[in-house]
């Protein structure tokens, strides 16, 4: 079985078709939801994105993993995980899965996706892939 976990930043539940929005055209998400599962009774452990991401990949509340606020990579006064935690990607790897991150990371100050068991291009810090040379090279190769 394949697993596709989509975690959007600042995404309201009622803004996409699978959760009842009849105005927004989200046919691919609608199909994924129809053929897979949706979470109809899920809650975030904290309404701040970086600690919420950290909770998703550790399965622990922010007070247990230690990331309590949003910080860019390398920010003064920032922190990474308190102690060590089994990570979602590492647990999935034990079952034969390969986990790949697409998009921004924004977890901790020095942690990388690879530190937490994910493959994929790492865009350090918070922000936009267009600020990174390898992404600009990719866009250039497409004629953009």
Could you list the active site residues? 49, 106
Structure tokens at 114: 């690879």
Contact 119, 98 (CB under 8 A): yes
As a whole number of angstroms, the distance between CA 68 and CA 61 comes to 9
**119: which strand partners?**
100
Residues 6+ apart with CB under 8 A from 110: 73, 74, 80
Cα 32 from chain centroid (whole Å): 18
């Amino acid at each position: 079985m394949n697993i596709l976990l989509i975690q959007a930043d600042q995404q309201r539940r009622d803004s996409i078709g699978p959760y009842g929005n009849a105005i927004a055209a989200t046919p691919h998400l609608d199909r994924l939801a129809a053929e897979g599962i949706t979470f109809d009774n899920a809650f975030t452990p904290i309404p701040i994105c970086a600690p919420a991401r950290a909770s998703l990949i550790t399965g622990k509340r922010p007070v247990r993993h230690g990331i309590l606020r949003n910080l860019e990579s390398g920010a003064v006064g920032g922190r990474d995980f308190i102690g060590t935690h089994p990570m979602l990607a590492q647990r999935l790897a034990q079952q034969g899965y390969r986990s790949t991150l697409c998009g921004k990371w924004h977890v901790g100050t020095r942690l990388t996706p690879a530190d937490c068991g994910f493959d994929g291009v790492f865009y350090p810090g918070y922000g936009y892939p267009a600020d990174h040379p390898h992404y600009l090279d990719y866009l250039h190769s497409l004629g953009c």
